[in-house]
Amino acid sequence: SMGVAVSERRAHERAADEWCRSARASLRPGCPIAIVNISRGGALVEGPQPMRPGTRVMLQIATATTAFGLSAIVVRCGVGALSAQDGVIYRGALRFDERRDWTRDV
């Protein structure tokens, strides 16, 4: 079934949805983005700017209790949504450089 393939492809547990919604995130130099989901190994993000695959980015995250940056590579990017209000919303997959478990710090 589809569900099996999806769970096998995902190497790391995802952070809780509520955490993703409450966290404020941006890609340097400060373009605000939304975290769709995030794990120890990477994140799926959405924002108004296209993200070029192969590009190194810094994902900056701020929560109520902490702020930190994660260096990442853009693995892929596509149009996530089109809306009359916001225009094109791009969805990009990021792979974090560091294998440390940053989720322990939050």
Tens-place pLDDT, residues 17-56: 777 777 888 887 678 899 999 998 999 999 999 999 999 9
Please write the tens of the pLDDT for every residue from 76-97: 999 999 988 879 999 999 999 8
- Start-to-end CA distance of the chain, whole Å, equals 34
56 or 7, greater pLDDT: 56
pTM strictly above 0.95: no
CA 50 distance to own-chain centroid = 13
20, containing H or E segment: helix 17-22
Residue 59 contacts residue 43 (beta carbons within 8 Å): yes
Residue 36's contacts (CB-CB under 8 Å, 6 or more residues apart) are 20, 43, 44, 45, 46, 91
Band the pLDDT of 63: cuts 50, 70, 90: confident
